[in-house]
Amino acid sequence: MAAAVTTSQFDTEVLQSELPVLVDFWASWCGPCRAIAPALDEISKEMEGKAKVLKVDVDAEGDLANKYSVMSIPALIVFKGGQEVERHVGGLPKPQLAAMLERHM
């Protein structure tokens, strides 16, 4: 399952990760966010040890959303080596979500 990450954990879990990380900026009231959640959970399991999938609740972690200029959700951002390397706003089918990570592995 895609784990939640807070502002205090972000540096350690995302920016300092040796693996590429797909971060899903989401909110519980966002329909498209809820629609892609099962696919993200599956990808998280399938890519365990090769990549990470984490979730940031924009309502609880507004400062983090602002820092990364998240204006619309779901915002899917791939980080590698502490840098943003890819971004997509809006839902995607599972194969395209997985491809976002695979391009950076």
Query: Which candidate in 2, 30, 43, 98 is catalytic?
Result: 30
Q: Distance of alpha carbon 4 from its chain centroid, rounded?
A: 9
Q: Which of 22, 33, 43, 97 is catalytic?
A: 33
The DSSP H or E segment spanning 101 is helix 94-102
Classify residue 69 as left (phi > 0), alpha (psi -120 to 50) or beta.
left
d(CA 30, CA 12): 27
Rounded to whole angstroms, how far apart are CA atoms 93 and 74? Answer: 13
* Residue 30 falls in the annotated catalytic set: yes
Size of the chain in residues: 105
Which amino acids are annotated catalytic? 30, 33
